[in-house]
Amino acid sequence: MIVSYLSHKKICLKDGINVICTQSPIAYKDLVLGFQALNDLIVCSDDEYNNKSISKSFDFVGDPLLNDNIMAKYMNVIIKNFISNLDEVNRNRILKSFYSLETVLNDSLLLEDLPLEIDFSEDIKKLLKMVNIHLDAQLMLTPYAIIETVLKIHQEYNLDSIPVFCNVAHYLDETQLKELSKIVRQLKLKIILIEFTDKQYGVAVKDAQVAYIDRDLVDWY
């Protein structure tokens, strides 16, 4: 995958962590918006220089703590795969439990002096949405855990897009960065970290490819 920002040098993304650092507010804004396909300043292509869609090629996660709805976009694929992998025994166990709940509710409604009834669906997807299946809320308060979970989702469900995070430098120490680099390589993924910082940050990320754009918009990569 090759990424280009305006008239700057091309960045050939490699397996593992790819860091784009800048001390230019202009470049930082352009990059953050560009990887969300909210401007036309970022373009990407495959290794044969065939143009690719930004929105399909990248999964913009953003700041792992400030984005309070990170996991919502993954729930459909998680639920879909859960249902497709659900065997008949467990499917029947789930439906049996809901049938029991339906009976209790209907019996309780008979105590009301109104013609009340409930609609019960055997659609497992609807049942899962009704119980609001979600990831551990406490886990989602830890930046490293959020990043690791996103990576595992990409690997587990074979998502083709490349995760893009911002401001990871604010949250992870050197030990965590090294561990993150190890996990990314183990999962055979590519990720992009966009950081408003100097190029020394990239050096702290083990085995990372670093592209640095200084405050005067000069490339140092």
pLDDT: which is higher, 106 or 38: 38
Domain membership flag for residue 184:
yes
Domain membership flag for residue 135:
no
Span 201-209, average pLDDT: 72
pLDDT over threshold 80, residue 48:
yes
Full residue range of the structural domain in which residue 30 is found: 2-72+142-220
Backbone phi and psi for residue 162, each to the nearest 5 degrees, phi listed first: -100, 120
pLDDT over threshold 90, residue 6:
no
Q: How far apart are CA 9 and CA 125, in angstroms?
A: 46
Span 128-150, average pLDDT: 87
- pLDDT computed for residue 201 by the predictor: 65
Same domain membership, residue 80 and residue 67: no
Domain membership flag for residue 190:
yes
Q: How far apart are CA 67 and CA 221, in angstroms?
A: 30
Site of tokens 């910082």 = 197
pLDDT over threshold 80, residue 25:
yes
- Sheet bearing 42-45, strands edge to edge: 11-12, 2-5, 42-45, 51-52
Domain membership flag for residue 101:
yes
pTM: 0.86
- Spatial CB neighbours of 99, under 8 Å, sequence gap ≥ 6: 120
- pLDDT computed for residue 29 by the predictor: 97
- pLDDT computed for residue 68 by the predictor: 78
pLDDT: which is higher, 120 or 150: 150
Same domain membership, residue 11 and residue 44: yes
Name the band, by pLDDT with cuts 50, 70 and 90, for residue 202: low
Same domain membership, residue 102 and residue 63: no
Say how many domains are in the chain: 2
Of 31, 38, 32, which is closest to residue 6 (Cα–Cα)? 31
Same domain membership, residue 60 and residue 123: no
- pLDDT computed for residue 203 by the predictor: 53
Question: CA 100 from chain center: how many Å?
Answer: 37
pLDDT over threshold 60, residue 207:
yes
